[in-house]
Amino acid sequence: MNSEVLDARRLLCPMPVIRTQQMVARMEPGDELTVRCTDPGVLHDIPAWCRVHGHHYLGAIEADDEIVVRITVGG
Amino acid sequence: MLAARTILDQGITVEGINFFTGFCVEGHTHAIRRRGGSSRPAPRNNALWVADKLGIKLHLVEVVEEYKSVVLNPRHGYGRNLNPCLDCKGFMVRKAHEWMLENDFDFIITGEVVGQRPMSQRRDTMPVIAEESGAGDRLLRPLSAQGLPETFPERAGWVDRSRLHGFHGRTRKPQMALAAELGLDEYAQPAGGCCFLTDQRYSVKLQDLWRSRGRRDYELDDIMLLKVGRHLRPKPHFKLIIGREDGENRFLRGYRHLYPWLRTVSHPGPITLFDGPVLEPVDLELAARITARFSQGRSDRAVALEVGRPGEEPSTLSVAPLSPGEVQPEWYL
C-alpha cells in the first residue's frame, strides 16, 4: 500500500476534487491519499465524490485554516 | 437530474460529466464568505450532489484554458452580458462527445428544454449545438425529445421514445411535476444562474480587467478574484480588491505572494490587494487611506497598516482614513 499527499490548499471547489480525481487515477486500490485543503466545500464534495466512485472516505481533520481529508482508493 | 433519471429508468447506464470553466457559480465561491462564523452548512457542488442522489458516477473536467476561446471570441456573440451561451453549449457538448468516444459510450444526453433559455435553448439553435459540437444525432435531449427529430439512440431502439418527454417553453411546471412523480423532492436550482458571465456586475469587472491590461485575456486567478471583495479603481493604473469580511480576507491572504497587499493592524479591518504595475508612494498612501476607510478605525484620526510586497518583508505606515465623501462612487466596479 502506498500513501500520497496532495496539496490542494488555496484551490476552490471543484478544483480540490478534480486534483483528487487526477491523483487517484494514478494510484492503486488500497492506496491512501491525504488531501490538504482550505476550501470547506471539500467536506461535502470529497465524501460525495468517493461515494459515487467507490472510494473510501476516512474522515477529515480541521485545524486553523486547513482541512486535511484522508481517503483510500477503492477497487 | 430529470434527463439522467429518465434514461436510467430505461435500464441504460449513465455517467455524468461536469465541466469547470472558472466562471461557475458553485456554492463554494460563496463558501469563501460563509465560513467566518456562519451557522449555515458548507455549500455543496450540485453536480456531485445529483450524481450521489442518482447513484451514478460523475467526472469533473477542468477546461479553464480551452474555454478561453469561447469567452474571448464567441462565434455567436454574447447575451445580455459577457455570456456566450450558444458557443458555451456547443463547446461543452463537443467535449462530452470527445469523452464519449474515448470511453466507449454510445450517446450524450443533456437536460436542455426547447424554448427554456433565450439563446442556447431555442428550437432554431439546438440543432446548431448538435452540428457544431460534432455530436450530431448522438445528442439526445430526453426532456424535449418528443418534439424534436428522432436521434440515433431512438432509431437504434436503445431508447424508447414513447417514454421520453415533450417539454417546451420557459415554465418549469412540467419538470416539477415529473420530479414529484419520480419522488425527487429536492433538486438544484431550476432556473439557470450557474455562470458568472451572466452577471452584470461581474461582466463589468471582467471588461475593466481587459481594458486596464490592454488585452482581452485572463488567468484562473484573475477570474476567481473578480468573484471576491469590493473592487475599486481609484486611478486608471491600479485597482484595489478589498475583503468584505473574514472569509474573504482569509481567501485574499492566499494571494499575498502574487500582489502587493495592505492590512490594518491598529483596528480590525480588511486585507486589500493592490492590482497595478508598481506600488508608488502616492498610490500606496491612497490605497492605505481607502483600506483604512473600510476598517473599524474609519472615524479615527489615524489607522496603522502593514504593507507587503511579494518576496519582501512587510513594513508599516499610519494614515488618516478617507472621509465618506472622498470615496468616489465611480471608483466602484
Which residue from B317, B194, B210 is spatially nearest to B262, judged by alpha carbons? B317
Q: What is the mean pLDDT of chain B?
A: 91
Residue appearing with cell numbers 492566499: B254
User: Which residue ranges does chain B devote to CATH 3.40.50?
Assistant: 2-196
Q: Which residue of B has its CA nearest to A25?
A: B59
- Measured CA to CA, the distance from residue B332 to residue B219 in angstroms comes to 22
Select from B44, B60, B250 the Cβ nearest to the Cβ of A18. B60
Quote the Cα angle for A44-A46-B185, to 5°: 45
By the 10 Å C-beta count (0-12 exposed, 13-18 middle, 19+ buried), B270 is classed as: buried
User: What would the DSSP string read from start to end of A40-64?
Assistant: TTHHHHHHHHHHHHT-EEEEEEEET
Q: Name the amino acid, one letter, at B70.
A: V
**Cβ-Cβ contacts under 8 Å, B55 against chain A:** 52
What would the pLDDT profile of B75-116 be if each residue is shown by its tens digit?
Answer: 999 999 999 999 999 999 999 999 999 999 999 999 999 988
Of all residues in chain A, the percent with pLDDT exceeding 90 is: 77
CA distance A43 to chain B (A): 8
pTM: 0.88
pLDDT in tens, B231-277: 999 999 999 999 999 888 988 998 999 999 999 999 999 999 999 98
- Say which of A4, A9, A11, A13 is annotated catalytic: A13
Nearest chain A residue to B56 by CA distance is A52
Grid cell listed for B86:
450558444
Burial environment of residue B113 by CB neighbours within 10 A (0 to 12, 13 to 18, 19 or more): buried
User: Is pLDDT above 90 for A75?
Assistant: no
What is the average pLDDT score of chain A? 94
Q: Enter the ipTM.
A: 0.90
DSSP B151-217: PHHHHTTSS-GGGS---BSS--HHHHHHHHHTT----S-SS---BGGG-HHHHHHHHHHHHHHTSS-
Q: pLDDT tens across A17-44, in order?
A: 999 999 999 999 999 999 999 888 899 8
Sign of the alpha-carbon dihedral angle for B38, B42, B47, B52: negative
Residue to mutate among A17, A52, A53, with most B CBs inside 10 A, is A52
- CATH classification code of B2-196: 3.40.50
Q: Is A37 a catalytic residue?
A: no
Three-class SS state of A15: helix
Residue whose grid cell is 430526453 = B142
CB A41 within 8 A of CB B47: no
Question: What are chain A's domains?
Answer: 3-72 (3.30.110.40)
Task: Please list the pLDDT of chain B residue by residue as tens digits (333 residues).
Answer: 999 999 999 999 999 999 999 998 875 555 566 555 455 555 678 899 999 999 999 999 999 999 999 999 999 999 999 999 999 999 999 999 999 999 999 999 999 999 887 767 788 888 999 999 999 999 999 999 999 999 999 999 999 999 999 999 888 899 999 999 999 888 776 555 688 999 999 999 999 999 999 999 999 999 999 999 999 999 999 999 999 998 889 889 989 999 999 999 999 999 999 999 877 899 999 999 999 999 999 999 999 999 999 999 999 999 999 999 999 999 999
User: Which 3 state secondary structure label does DSSP give A22?
Assistant: helix
End-to-end CA distance of chain B: 36
d(CA A37, CA B203): 29
Q: What pLDDT is recorded for position A61?
A: 97
DSSP 8-state symbol, B331: G
Q: What is the pLDDT of residue A41?
A: 86
Q: Do B60 and A21 count as a contact with CB atoms less than 8 A apart?
A: yes
* 3-state SS record for B78-127: CCCCCCCHHHHHHHHHHHHHHHHHHCCCCCEECCCCECCCCCCCCCCCHH
Integer angstrom CA distances of residue B275 from B72, B119, B198, B258: 22, 35, 24, 10
Q: What angle do CA B243, B207, B294 make, to 5 degrees?
A: 20
| Nearest-angstrom CA–CA distance, B134 and B128 | 10
A41-52 pLDDT tens trace: 899 899 999 999
* Amino acid B32: pLDDT: 65
Residues in A closer than 8 angstroms to B32, CB to CB, are 12
Nine cell digits for residue B173: 411546471
